[in-house]
């Protein structure tokens, strides 16, 4: 009897999850500055970071560049890294939206709805994910246009689809990470200060800008790369997107990401279920 009720409940929670997703998406499109920055940000990163940096190797023999960047030129090497920045920043920011909802009172409204908190969390994560994927696709699209002159090309359709999988997993991980942090901090200020602090090392020690192997001689920094989930995300994404040789075997990337995603999801759901509202 009670099992039947439970089943029905799980089943019918698809609509609440959908409604949380829908809210995130409507919110996104209702806030024009966010829409604009989502489009402009990747263009700026590509134009102001990837393009100038790829000039570092101007005049050097192409073989040198290719041995250093796993068979790629520097620009192509940087493109997946820049997609990675978007996933890291965008994902972690989901945590701040939880805090905003706390501040602006909307969290109470959803907390008294007859819906599991896990569903609430999943819904908003999917919502963030949708926006995050939109940005990732824009980045890849714009990079492909620049790529006509700078030698970046998507390797194959299957590679592209696999790249999407890596994007989804990476974003999902940082989204849960953001929600966990959101549960630990009372106000937005503390959260933002901490996120700004932690985003730097996560980003620079992920192989997004500098090949993982280049740091071999630097003790601590080299090892940190191995415990940073973004490292595996960018490594898999880069290999899938460009057809280059990954640093880790690709299945290792996938397994690590899935494991971290599951652990973070559980931790995030736990934090969300313990979150106090008043």
Partner 1 sequence: MEDVIVVEGLTKRFGNFVAVNNIDFTVKEREIFGFLGPNGAGKSTTIKILITLLHPTSGSAKICGYDVVKEPYNVRKKIGVVFQDRSSDRVLTGRQNLDLHGRMYTMSKEEREKKIKEVLRLLELEGVENIRLNSLPEGVRRRFEVARGFMTNPKVVFLDEPTIGFDIKARRDLWSQIKDAKEKEGSAVLLTTHYIEEADYLCDRVAIIDHAKIVAIDTPENLKKSVGTMLISFQIGDKNGNGLSYFIDRVKRLDWVIGVLKDNNPIILKIEKGEGRVLDLIEFADKIGFEIISIDEREPNLEDAFLYYTGRTIREAEGG
Q: Is 9 in the site for partner 1 (CB under 8 A)?
A: yes
Q: Which of 23, 134, 155, 224 binds partner 1 (CB under 8 A)?
A: 23
Q: Which is nearer to partner 1, 105 or 249 (CB)?
A: 105
Q: What mask of x and - would describe binding to partner 1 in positions 85 to 124, judged by CB under 8 A?
A: -------------------xxx-xxxxxxxx---------
Can you read off the two tokens belonging to residue 55? 């000039």
Alpha carbon distance 82, 60 (integer Å):
24
Q: Does 27 bind partner 1 (CB under 8 A)?
A: yes
Minimum distance between the CB of residue 101 and partner 1, rounded to whole angstroms?
A: 8
Binding string, residues 138-167; x marks residues near partner 1 by CB under 8 A: ------------------------------
Are 75 and 51 contacting, i.e. CB atoms less than 8 angstroms apart?
A: yes
Query: Which residue in 19, 66, 155, 188 binds partner 1 (CB under 8 A)?
Result: 19
The single residue among 26, 40, 47, 161 that binds partner 1, judged by CB under 8 A, is 26
Cα 231 from Cα 239, distance rounded (Å): 12
- Does the footprint of partner 1 cover residue 37 (CB under 8 A)? no
Which of 126, 264 has the CB closer to partner 1? 126
Do residues 77 and 70 make contact, with C-beta atoms less than 8 angstroms apart? yes
Question: Total number of residues binding partner 1 (CB under 8 A)?
Answer: 25
**Measured torsion, CA atoms of residues 222, 224, 229, 234, in degrees rounded to the nearest 10:** -30
Dihedral class, residue 20 (left if φ above 0, else alpha if ψ from -120 to 50, else beta): alpha
Distance CA 69, CA 63 (A): 10
* Distance set, CA 159 to CA 163, 240, 253 (Å): 6, 5, 15
Complex with partner 1: residue 23 or 153, whichever CB lies closer: 23
d(CA 144, CA 146): 5
CB 122: neighbour CB atoms within 10 A? 21
Select 262 or 277, whichever has its Cβ closest to partner 1.
277
* Chain contacts with partner 1 (rule: CB under 8 A): 9, 12, 15-16, 18-19, 22-23, 26-27, 30-31, 104-106, 108-115, 277-278
């Amino acid at each position: 009897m009670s099992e039947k009720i439970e089943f029905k409940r799980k089943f019918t929670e698809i609509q609440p999850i959908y409604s949380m997703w829908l809210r995130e998406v409507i919110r996104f499109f209702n806030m024009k500055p966010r829409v604009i920055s989502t489009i402009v940000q990747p263009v700026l990163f590509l134009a102001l970071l990837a393009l100038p940096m790829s000039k570092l190797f101007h005049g050097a023999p192409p073989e040198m560049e290719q041995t250093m960047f796993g068979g790629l030129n520097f620009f192509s090497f940087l493109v997946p890294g820049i997609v990675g920045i978007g996933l890291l920043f965008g994902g972690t920011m989901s945590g701040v939206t939880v805090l905003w909802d706390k501040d602006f009172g909307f969290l109470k409204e959803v907390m008294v709805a007859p819906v599991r908190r896990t569903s609430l969390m999943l819904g908003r994560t999917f919502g963030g994910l949708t926006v995050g994927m939109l940005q990732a696709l824009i980045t890849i699209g714009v990079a492909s246009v620049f790529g006509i002159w700078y030698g970046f090309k998507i390797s194959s359709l299957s590679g592209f689809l696999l790249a999407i999988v890596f994007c989804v997993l990476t974003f999902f991980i940082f989204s849960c990470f953001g929600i966990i942090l959101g549960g630990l901090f009372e106000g937005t200020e503390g959260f933002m200060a901490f996120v700004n602090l932690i985003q730097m090392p996560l980003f620079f020690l992920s192989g997004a800008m500098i090949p993982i192997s280049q740091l071999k001689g630097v003790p601590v920094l080299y090892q940190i790369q191995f415990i940073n989930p973004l490292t595996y995300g960018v490594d898999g994404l880069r290999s899938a997107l460009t057809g280059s040789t990954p640093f880790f075997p690709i299945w290792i990337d996938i397994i690590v990401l899935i494991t971290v995603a599951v652990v973070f999801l559980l931790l995030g759901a736990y934090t969300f279920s313990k979150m106090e509202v008043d």
